[in-house]
Homo-oligomer: A and B are copies of this chain.
Amino acid sequence: MTGWTVLVTGGAGYIGSHSIIELMSAGHEVIVVDSFVNARSECLKRVESIVGRSIPAYHIDIRNEAQLSEVFQKHTIDAVIHFAALKAVGESVSKPLMYYENNLIGTISLLKAMSNHGVKRLVFSSSATVYGTPQYLPLDERHPVGGCTNPYGKTKLMMEEILRDLQSAEPDWSVVVLRYFNPIGAHKSGTIGEDPNGVPNNLMPYVSQVAVGRRPEVTVFGNKYDTPDGTGVRDYIHVCDLASGHVAALAKLQQSGFRVYNLGTGKGCSVLELIKAMEAASGRPIPYKIGPARAGDVASVYSDPSLAAAELNWRAERGLDEMCADSWRWQSINPNGFDSSA
Contact = CB atoms under 8 A, between A and B. Distances in A.
A97 interface: yes
Copies in the complex: 2
B97 A101 contact: no
Interface in A150-182: 151, 154, 158, 161-162, 165-166, 168-169
A247 interface: no
A94 B154 CA distance: 24
Interface residues of A, number: 23
A146 interface: yes
Contacts of A105: 104-105, 108
Interface in A246-262: none
A154 B165 contact: yes
Interface in A83-123: 93-97, 100-101, 104-105, 108, 111-112, 115
A100 B109 CA distance: 11
A166 B105 CA distance: 16
A108 B109 CA distance: 14
A108 B112 contact: no
Nearest to A105: B105
A114 to B, nearest CB: 10
Contact of A94 (B93, B95, B101, B169): B169
A185 B165 CA distance: 33
A96 B151 contact: no
Nearest to A111: B97
Contacts of A93: 165, 168-169
Contact of A112 (B101, B111, B112, B115): B101
A96 B158 contact: no
Contacts of A169: 93-97
A64 to B, nearest CB: 13
A97 B162 contact: yes
Given A105-B105, A146-B146, A166 B111 contact: no
A220 B95 CA distance: 47
Nearest to A101: B108
Contact of A151 (B97, B111, B165): B165
Interface in A173-225: none
A159 B108 CA distance: 15
Contacts of A158: 158
Nearest to A107: B100
A68 to B, nearest CB: 14
23 contacts: A93-B165, A93-B169, A95-B169, A96-B162, A96-B165, A96-B166, A96-B168, A97-B108, A97-B111, A97-B112, A97-B115, A97-B162, A97-B166, A97-B169, A100-B108, A100-B162, A100-B165, A101-B112, A104-B105, A104-B108, A151-B162, A151-B165, A154-B161
9 closest residue pairs by CB, A with B = A96-B165, A151-B165, A100-B162, A101-B108, A96-B169, A96-B166, A158-B158, A104-B104, A94-B169
Given A151-B162, A154-B165, 14 more contacts: A93-B168, A94-B169, A96-B162, A96-B165, A96-B166, A96-B169, A97-B108, A97-B111, A97-B166, A100-B104, A101-B108, A101-B112, A104-B108, A158-B158
